[in-house]
């Protein structure tokens, strides 16, 4: 069973998103990834945001937990720490440089993402 986490970092009516290019598709999604066996879901979401965006965050609260094909996906509302460095694209340490799927990271307007299923779910919980 593989549990996943994702982070909702909202600042000034914008939400942090990462662009992924997989072999089958290209899409924007919330930062996140798998939970390692030696960490809590809260630790995992902070690690994933750091790996993908270089931002240091703290968890404010859990927004939702849903069943996915091999476990659960838990989404947390997070906040950037005061000492966090500037936003910049990170890497997936489990993939080689040639296999990297992360292509971009940026804040996007919540107004333009209301039809996105992931974003609409979390907006209904805020």
| Contacts with 12 (C-beta within 8 Å, 6 or more apart), sequence order | none
User: In CATH, what number does 4-123 get?
Assistant: 3.90.79.10
pLDDT for position 121: 87
Q: Is the pLDDT of residue 37 over 80?
A: yes
Structure tokens given for 88: 């910049």
d(CA 102, CA 92): 7
Domain regions of the chain by residue span: 4-123
What's the pLDDT tens digit per position in 50-91? Answer: 999 999 999 999 999 998 888 899 999 999 999 999 999 998
**Cα-to-chain-centroid distance, residue 102:** 12
- State the chain's mean pLDDT as an integer: 93
d(CA 112, CA 103): 20
Task: State phi, psi for 119 to the nearest 5 degrees.
Answer: -75, -40
């Amino acid at each position: 069973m593989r549990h996943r986490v994702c982070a909702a970092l909202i600042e000034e009516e914008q939400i942090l998103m990462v662009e992924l290019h997989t072999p089958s598709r290209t899409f924007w999604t919330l930062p996140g990834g798998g939970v390692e066996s030696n960490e809590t879901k809260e630790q995992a979401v902070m690690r994933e945001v750091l790996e993908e965006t270089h931002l240091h965050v703290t968890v404010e609260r859990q927004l939702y937990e849903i069943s996915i094909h091999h476990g659960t996906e838990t989404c947390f509302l997070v906040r950037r720490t005061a000492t966090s460095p500037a936003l910049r694209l990170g890497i997936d340490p489990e993939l080689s440089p040639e296999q990297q799927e992360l292509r971009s990271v940026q804040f996007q307007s919540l107004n333009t993402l209301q039809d996105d299923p992931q974003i609409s779910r979390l907006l209904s919980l805020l």
